[in-house]
Structure 1
């Protein structure tokens, strides 16, 4: 993607102008939100109700924009297809931004995080980085944005050594963790907050072997590119929760951060 086009896209992503708010009044409307509610701490059910970062973020937008939210529980690999086919109006599911997805849907960037590696606490295999994955079975949720990076690593680093990274995909993160616990994979990769929760829920049976965030990633709300009015209305509501500080309180609660325009430009310009 050339620099001029990247700059144009980023400008669009961060255009939270007052004109957009006037042109797209969402007051009284119900917005259907697609999310994979098997992905704590971002998206999950608590007492049969959606909970986590994304439902909280969408509720903040709803309160600021005067609209209602209706949750549509959807497996991760079907989210982009679903919003493109108008099965729901917006994706709020820790969806990472990358060039391929940005060609299919529109994004409103709203968070920055990274990937961690989890292994069994009793395992002798405790990789610090993906460069140690050669010859190992690595599991993660289906549709993960960093899969092409691992495939490239397998081809360029492992294949010359006569081995590969044995990539195993699962419908949900908890299923990948279960595969790790049962010995069907050697390590699990996932969002750092997700891996942290997996460690807490398994009472020490699983540990984080990596020391730093790997493949730093940006997440965004995803929308059908034709739904420009909704995008403008959500951006206007987003501007309000930035101004009143509630957005930054939520980021702090989940130990994630706000992406900058430069970071978005870099992600869109890089080819995975």
Structure 2
């Protein structure tokens, strides 16, 4: 609130005291959480990934936006989102461009070597093809010899590479030709343009792609592939921030906000066994 100079000095004094109190509160939050900018939670997200996070009429929307807005509120911080392509998110976190990653970040042993996680939901993957395609790949092993699009840096790429090397080639089949794209919509467009034979995508992303393209695509996998826990990414040296986010999520569970947001996006919460499995060595 701005108090103009023409008001009585006592009101100005009160206004200054209120501003000072707010400053102290923000400074305390910044001291507690050691955020890049005092009073602000800077969040790195790839805003090309509906329904998790994307731009609608120039405004960021989706699951991660709603979730992180609630987290920041409980921490007494102002959320600020930084649109960053997925493959650059961990690099950006480690170079101090943002405080936390919220962008459907799958929990994997490789990533856990360099960042910490706060688990917050669970998902899995699906296979998409064009509706008029004769191919009906139901599992990764069915992708041998196929051109497969994916968002760049996805956690399933090493798994598909392993399938290619340990299943396709030993069985006298061609390797899986994995082609990475900067965004999930670009990977989908490659299927529609016949540039690839199939797309490997997050299950919710795949479902939305079918809906948005007027059924020009179809999901051929029959169950979730590589079910996996998803978390918020935090630098390993930010223990206070990690604990603050964990506390905020516990408060969201108590108020019902947590479950409400998961229900809205048809997501489920991870259990400790899921997280342990995701972090286990291959």
**TM-score, normalised relative to structure 1:** 0.89
- d(CA) in 2 for partners of 1:111, 1:227: 21
* Residues 1:40 and 2:47 aligned together: no
**TM-superposition CA deviations, 1:76-104 (whole Å, max 9, x none):** 00001110110111000000000010010
Taking a change above 3 Å as real, the CA distance of residues 51 and 117 of structure 1, as seen in their structure-2 partners, is: same
Q: What is the aligned partner in structure 2 of residue 89 from structure 1?
A: 99
Structure 1 unmatched runs, 5+: 1-20
Unaligned runs of 5+ in 2: 1-28
Partner Cα distance (2:65, 2:270) in 1:
19
Cα RMSD, aligned residues only: 1.6
- Determine the structure 2 residue equivalent to 1:60: 70
Tell me, in whole angstroms, the C-alpha distance in 2 between the residues paired with 1:176 and 1:120. Answer: 12
**Aligned residue in 1 for 2:116:** 106
Q: Distance in 1 between matches of 2:32 and 2:121?
A: 23
Structure having the higher Rg: 2
Aligned residues: 250
- The corresponding residue for 1:239 is 250
Does structure 1 residue 177 correspond to structure 2 residue 185?
no
After TM superposition, list the pairs within 5 Å mapping 1:1-272 onto structure 2: 24=32, 29-160=39-170, 161-271=172-282
State the SS of the aligned residue for 2:261: helix
Q: Assess if the C-alpha contact under 8 Å between 1:26 and 1:66 holds in 2.
A: no
For 1:4, the equivalent position in structure 2 comes to none
Residue 192 of structure 1: how far off its partner (Å): 0.5
Instruction: Write out per-residue CA displacement over residues 167-196 of structure 1, whole angstroms, 9 at most, x where no aligned residue.
Output: 110000000000000001100011100011
Helix, strand or coil for the counterpart of 1:101? helix
TM-score normalised over the length of structure 2: 0.86
Write out per-residue CA displacement over residues 122-170 of structure 1, whole angstroms, 9 at most, x where no aligned residue. 0000111111101100111000001111011001111121411011100
**Runs of 4+ residues deviating >6 angstroms:** 25-28
- Return the structure number with greater relative CO, CA threshold 8 A, min gap 6: 1
